[in-house]
Amino acid sequence: MPCLALAATLAAVFGAAPTLTYHPPDDEDERPMATSVTVGPQGSDFAFRVEFNQAPWGEACKNRCANTTLYLDTDGDANTGLQLGKGAPETGADLAITIQGTREYKETSSQMVLRARVRLLVGGATHADEGEPLLEMDNRREAERLHCEGNVVYALVDGTDSRIPMGRTMRVIYHPPGAKAMVGKVKGLMSGGGGAIEIFRKGKSESRRKKAPPPDAK
């Protein structure tokens, strides 16, 4: 099943170098693995660009499609969110975002689908599964927020829930199976800025800029 094509690049968020990069072992039996992760604030959303070493969903990977979890410490504070113990890179993560390529079964048929599941890690959770389900998207119903182009998945995660801690910086954690966790630091939703805002809408990205009121406006 072909992926939805993006009409334009989200240059404001994804023009910089990747937040994290990973070189997985060359093993044809492995699921698709994330090789490049770029994260940044986009308006009131957390924007993700995740590149895989092979198609993350569809008939090519059949029943062994992507199942990758990224952790986001939205306020850069290890004392909030997930608590795995001092020294664990994931400690302090406030969100767990899992990208899955899966098959949805119906009575007489099945269909491949790309999903993004988000859990809120609050209340001293000691495992990602203890987090509260915050949202679930798939590329059919939420195409304006979850896209795939080739081996690259683009996702926008709503950051307006008042329970999500906010800060000027965020940590991004990716822990590949059998490898050391990787940690990157990016701007948070409270970092300020402004100017152009890139958004997804109906399979395309738009650029909007807030205009200042005219000088004679009351």
Q: Express each pLDDT in 175-216 by its tens digit.
A: 998 899 999 999 999 987 543 334 344 444 444 334 444 445
Cβ 22 vs Cβ 176: under 8 Å: yes
CA distances from residue 188 to 23, 46, 196 in whole angstroms, order as listed: 26, 9, 16
| Both structure tokens of 23 | 């070189």
Q: How far apart are CA 1 and CA 58, in angstroms?
A: 5
Tell me the pLDDT of the chain averaged across its residues: 82
What confidence score (pLDDT) does residue 28 get? 62
| Both structure tokens of 180 | 């050391």
Please return the burial class of 133, using the count of CB atoms within 10 Å of its CB with bins 0-12, 13-18 and 19+.
Answer: exposed
pTM of the model: 0.82
What is the average per-residue pLDDT within 124-149?
Answer: 90
> In this predicted structure, which of 2-6, 66-70, 136-140, 181-185 has the lowest mean pLDDT?
2-6
Structural domain boundaries in the chain: 30-191
